[in-house]
Structure 1
Amino acid sequence: MRLWQSSIYLNLVLAFLLSIIPMYTLSLYISLSGAASVREEITKSMQSRVHFYLSSFEAELSRVIKSMREFINDADLSMLSTLYPNIPTYERFTMTNRLESKLFLLNNSSQYIANSKLYIPSMGITIHGSGYDEKPIPDEEIREIRSVQYNTLSPFTMLGDRLLMGSLFPLGLNAAQSPTSIMKVEIPVQSLRNVLKQIPHTAEGGAVLFARDQDWHIASDQGERDPALIQQLKKLWENQGNDQKAGSGRFEIDNRFYLVTYEPSEILDATLLVYVPEEQILYPISHYFVMLIVLSIFSVAVIILFSYWIYRMLHKPLRVLVSAFRRVENGYMDISIPHQTAFEFGYLYRQFNVMLSRLNTLIQEVYEQKIRSQRAELKQLQSQINPHFLYNSFFVLKRMIAADDNKNAIRFVEHLGNYFQYITRNADDAVPLEAEWLHARTYTDIQMARFSRRLRTDYIDEPGPYGSVHVPRLIIQPLLENALQYGLPNKIKDGIIRVSFAVKRGLICIAVEDNGEELTNEQLNRLHAKLNARDEQMETTGLINVHRRLQLMFGNDAGVLVSRSSLGGLRTEICIPMKEEEPNVSIADH
């Protein structure tokens, strides 16, 4: 099933089929045209043969009919039939001999006359070519001859299996009048059959002579091997109408096609019809047509097999190449395709390996360059953090010493030492979150020495098991500086800074809020815009500094979010994607 779904295999098969279909179509057209041409020529030949034999038969029987009618004016027949008692015996005998001689000549004048007889009722004798006897012509034959002579145009009548021609003298008798003489000629049916057999020139073909006004026919086959076929042909002939025109056609009879040619005869009042099975005539062409079909089927089979061979020859190396590309697409860059083959695919494999090697080199160079650039930028951003509050911290320390507040001074100096120790330790770009959290508390302790009378700082929750997560150095202090400098600069008393920790939606979040009253919606929108800006040349200080460093280290899912705090001022929130880390290791020496 997968083989037929392959576009390469189907395209190969279709390409070969499209290449042979025009030739096959042309061959089929030539074959069909040849069959039609042969059928037309054979039909014309059949029409010529039908016309020839029918014309010959008409000429022979016309001569017989003419000879029969000459007896009307025969003096001997007239005298014998009307003056028989008054004629001397010698003259009567002489007249009878002359009539006998004439009948003898008539019998031998045509192959279509079996015998002829002349019956003279007044004499009670029947004259024939070899003498005469006293056997009269049967009344049944006389009635048939009378019926044909006065009721039909046909000169024939079929009585049993005998075909008769006859005439009653004198002409113009009615049904009540008795004839003075009766002429009867018997046509040999077998002779007609022999002639009809010569027309088709095929083993299964035949010819039939149909009477138009009488219910008889003569077929070339004496036994009429297929009476149903004869009846079907008769119906076809009758359906052609009585236009007395010759014609031909191709007819289907009992699921078999026949070429049929027919021609009517006014003299005989009959129609000669010839039929030939089409397959006998077109057998050579049909044989070639079958061979063409077999050849076409064989060609299609060869095309399918040849296409499959080509498909197998191309598909295996293509599959290897496509599989290699898919592995590269999935990020596997350390692959190599063997290329022992000498075909074009060997060149493709070698070039693929070279391309992948160069690509790995370029990726490594770009990756290292990016890492160096990021580290340089981290150093640059980190160096921008300037602890301006230290200037004021020295004045606070001076005031404590002047006031002999040695206990608080010592604790204050300790906080400053820890602070300087943290911000000057540049060995690592990232530190554990617990260390950054403790540094933020150190920073607030230093600031509370100055502002404890007008604000307080609340720390809610702790990093706990997430203390070992590494984060950029100095990311919480800028948020606290922002709250002190911009959120609570005019707060005389009851100022609040709240620092909280939470884990939500796979993010580690540290929020710094204040209850300042200076923040407007316009300022908040501008701050939003600065954080979302992608301008690389923009100054990166404060919150934007932290935002850039977080995204450089953790990607675009990390950063700083700003919103209005529930305390009334600004809420800045650091969001870091949570990774699988071990529970935090406490920093006991901090």
Structure 2
Amino acid sequence: MEKMEMKRESDFVRYLFKWLLLIFTVFAVVSICFNLVTYMREKQYYSRIIEQEQQERINYLSRNINEELTNLKITANMAVKEEIVQDLYCRYDYVNSYERSKLMEAIRKRCMEIDNLNSFVSSSWLYLPEKNLKIGRDGYDFVEEEAYAFVLENKENELISIKDGKAYIIEILNKNYLLDKWSRDNILSIFVIELNTGLIRQELQFAKMMDDDVLFMISPDNATVYFSTRDIIYQNLKQGEKPNKLLLDGEEYLFMSSHDDGHFFGLYYMQDQSFLHLIQNKMITSILLFAGIIVLTILLAFALFYRRVFRPLEVLLVDAFAQIKKSNLSYRIPVTEKNRVFTNLYQNFNYMAERIDTLVSRELKQEILVNQANFKHLQAQINPHFMYNSYFLLYRMIKSGDKEGSLLVCENLGRFFKYINRDSGENKSLEDEISHARSYAIIQGYRYKGIIHVDFPELPVRYHYIEVPRLIIQPLIENVFKYVVSEMEEEEEICLRVSYEEKGEELLIHVENSGKLDAEQLEIIRKKLKDTEENSDITALMNINARLQVFFKKEKPLDVNRSLLGGLRVTLHVNL
């Protein structure tokens, strides 16, 4: 049986923990999945946003650079074709040095204007190959052919020329447009604008999003890298796993190209993916950390649930009810600050247990007290002394010829023994109790005729229905004959009176006698009545008081006071 009980308790524990584990597991899985989905969506969203933003930045940069280079190209084209250049070429050998200097000074000022025209211009100058003359903002000088040989070396690139890390925009004025443009004999003049490569590279650096990103300008035929934020060879770039990915030195980059390059260059942007990988790794770490926190939270929740919920419920639903099942009705769940959440449940259980205990105790106590009263009453009444006295009384009455008195005593004696021996039910009607007590008083009144006066009226009919514990009136009458009459002096008459008084929702039954009861004796009786230990001289009072307390649920169902007759007055409080 105990094994079955333990199994049921174990099933209860597993049931609670199973559902708790299921709830937390579902919560953890949903939370982790939600975070993963959110991460993937956020990653795609921000990757797309970053890519769009960077695309707009390089488009803007490419458009600005292209506009500047286009303006410089137009400026160089206009400068090489100005009349003053042609005048200098045609009149160089036919004018004096002053006129020649004036012409070269005008060209020098023009170069200075171009140098100050745009921040992308580092310097500009004009070559007259036939005269080996170079004119710039610093003046003019005679140079060898090697000084402008790079123009012919880079004749395949007509837009931007690169030499020794420097970039140039070159415009040539031909003598005869029908002949070869790049033939030295057909070149009248060459105008060169040297670009500010440092500024261009700075603009490229500013356009990068991350330090490890790569941004470079390349020739339209993808053969020559003009400017780059990192030394690369375009031809060495390898295709990655996806079409928009390139590999550089084993590292993967997102490849983007400008949409506003014009005819001068191509602007390409390679976005480093290690940053995104770092973010991804951090996100994965965050998710793992979150999962760890969830697991720790679950463990903590289990511990708290066990301590704050499961254990209090186990105390209530398992331990407490097991005690009740074992008939341990005195068991109470201790209410402390730790389980204050379940205080109301515990208090209700304790109240229920107390009520059950009270009801059971009341029934048991009532039955025990009745049995004790029956036993003591039978022991006191059905003994040779009482029977002999009753028989001798009848004998004397019959012998004296008191026929009517003999019949009355016989009738009441029969009722008396019949009431005692008929049944042992706990409760009786107040009518039966009063009738039984009156029978006893009548018998004893004939026995002590002339010595005691009994005033015991019939119970009013309206009180007949009241239910009371058995044997609560007759023992009080018996005490009068047992203690008062036996101690009376000669020629002294004792008065015994029973009366009824309705007060509120109670019927007061007064049993009083005459005599000489002082305040000290009354106080002794009251103290003994409160004492839980049995006192042989007031056992009847204690028994009646205890039974009435259980039956009517009153603390003081019985009062003792000094009677107006001089003796003791006992008052029973009976609920109507």
TM, length-normalised to structure 2: 0.46
